[in-house]
Amino acid sequence: MRVAVIDGQGGGIGKAIVGRLRRAFGNNIEIIALGTNSMATSLMLKAGANEGATGENAIVYNVARVDLILGLISILSANSLLGELTPLMSKAIAESPAKKVLIPLNKSNIIVAGSENKPLPHYIDDIIEIVQAGGVK
């Protein structure tokens, strides 16, 4: 299974997701770190991603070539991550045939009705469970 983890800004959330995926699945999963900036990509690579790429073209190109996309729900919103995620990136992510497993943190003025307000590590636990179930829960 090929999984893309998308993050920007400081890269801490992507790093946490990649690290937990690597511990849960070992080398039985291919993780591609897609950062909106080089710091985010670098941190995800250090956390155990197999490959990494940075910037708009890298994200647009790769999201169509993975089975799962993981990240914050805000990656579907143009100009999120303080403007680092471009409209073209969010369009490519939304239109990708890959399943998307997204963390509903209330950022970028997006509030998901019915979602729990819980700490990030608990959402990452949910991601691991969903990926273990093959991308469906």
Residue 98 lies in a domain: yes
Total domains present in the chain: 1
42, burial (CB in 10 Å: exposed 0-12, middle 13-18, buried 19+)? middle
Q: Find how far residue 118's CA is from the centre of its chain.
A: 18
pTM over 0.95: no
pLDDT at position 8:
93
Q: Binning pLDDT at 50, 70 and 90, where does residue 106 land? A: low
Residue 137 lies in a domain: no
* Mean pLDDT value across the chain: 93
Smallest CA-to-CA distance from 89 within 115, 124, 113, 59 is with 59
Residue 92 lies in a domain: yes
- For residue 114, the domain's CATH number is 3.40.50
Range of the structural domain that residue 24 is part of: 2-132
Where do we find the tokens 């143009």? Answer: 78
